[in-house]
Amino acid sequence: MNHLDVVRLLGLDAPAPPEGAGYGRVVPEDFELLVQALPQGVIAASVLLGGSDVPVRSLEDFTRDTALRIADMEDALESREQELWLPLYPRPHGMVPWGRTANDGVLLWDTTAADTADWTTVLTDTDFQFWLDLPFSASEFVARAVMGSAEETPALETYQEYESGSFWKVADDKRATAMTLANRDIGAVEEIVTRLRSIGAPGVRGHAQELLDRAGERFGALPEDYRAVMREFPGGAVAGVRVFRASAAPGAPALRRLDDNGLFLQWGEAGGRAFGWLTAKGGPEEWRVAYAEPDGSALTCLEDQTFATFLRRRLRGDNALF
């Protein structure tokens, strides 16, 4: 998908880019053409584009308005002793913000690729605890948001229209999320899924489900708590734990057998350790989290931790393994 697909979905006419404008040299061309073609506003009650001055002349200029947000991310990660699989701008190949969600999440580019046309999207929530790794350009992310939104949701609204209409629905959703999370007896799966859904990014769930379906075809039965979470989460990081995609996709590791005898099924990593399940005992509902040291010299099973309870413990600030 490209910017023209988005413009058509929104029912607008796409202006032709001026000749010799120099798009795509600093940030992806499709993003700059989107900014040029779309009036400022809220897309599908969920996405707001940043950077109104195009073509972009430098990343320093482009990120000036989001510098404080980047600093907030750095501070939050440092205070939790968490690391991401990618750095943040201005470090080399650091992630660069290009927009936000109506729920105050941040949309960033993975700038690893040398060609800006190959930059993909990372989405984080307002607390910087969930980082979703998405193989989408800005245009494809926006298009999926439009196609994945509810039928009654306007495709594009001015800020004034949004604040007088869709904003209230978003606010109601936030209150419902807060009430659910305030339940002291909430289960680990429900807590994680509620927080993932509260990010408010239409179209992501469908992609996550596709990955999970392919993983099921390859590995067969998987723990129900893993399946419930991964229906919402396409891979990335949760509380500093990199959670692999459910199935193979370009540019990112996926669920895999780590050992020769197939008894250790790896789903992620943290602090150089490989995390997964020991699958020798019983069915998937009996599998417990295990981890291998960076040099592969030891394999330890956390007998009391499932996939969901382990991630919830990390979300609540407990990085200990015992």
Amino acid identity, position 158: T
Say whether the peptide bond before residue 90 is cis (omega within 30 degrees of 0).
yes
pLDDT given at position 185: 95
Q: Measured between alpha carbons, how far is 2 from 143 in angstroms, rounded to an integer? A: 9
pLDDT score of 302 more than 90:
yes
DSSP for 206-251, written as a single string = HHHHHHHHHHHHHH----HHHHHHHTT--SEEETTEEEPBSS-BTT
Q: Is 100 helix (H, G, I), strand (E, B) or coil?
A: strand
Share of the chain above pLDDT 90, in %: 81
The predicted structure's pLDDT at residue 20? 67
Ranges of beta strands (E only) in 5-49 are: 42-43, 47-49
CA 121 to CA 27: how far, in whole Å? 12
Quick: pLDDT tens for 9-26.
999 987 777 676 788 999
What are the angstrom distances between the C-alpha of 186 and each of 160, 190, 192, 272? 37, 7, 10, 31
Measured distance CA(13)–CA(160) in Å, rounded? 22
Q: pLDDT per residue over 65-115, tens digit each? A: 999 999 999 999 999 999 999 999 999 999 999 999 999 999 999 999 999
Tokens of 138: 């800005």
Structure tokens at 166: 């869709």
Q: Which range among 51-55, 127-131, 292-296 has the greatest average pLDDT?
A: 127-131
Q: pLDDT tens-digit profile of 255-278?
A: 998 876 778 999 999 999 999 998
HSE-CB for 233 with a 13 A CA cutoff: 30
What gap in Å lies between CA 260 and CA 221, rounded to an integer?
Answer: 20
Q: pTM to 2 decimals?
A: 0.94
**Averaged pLDDT, 241-253:** 87
Residue 99's SS3 state is: strand
Return the pLDDT at 320.
86
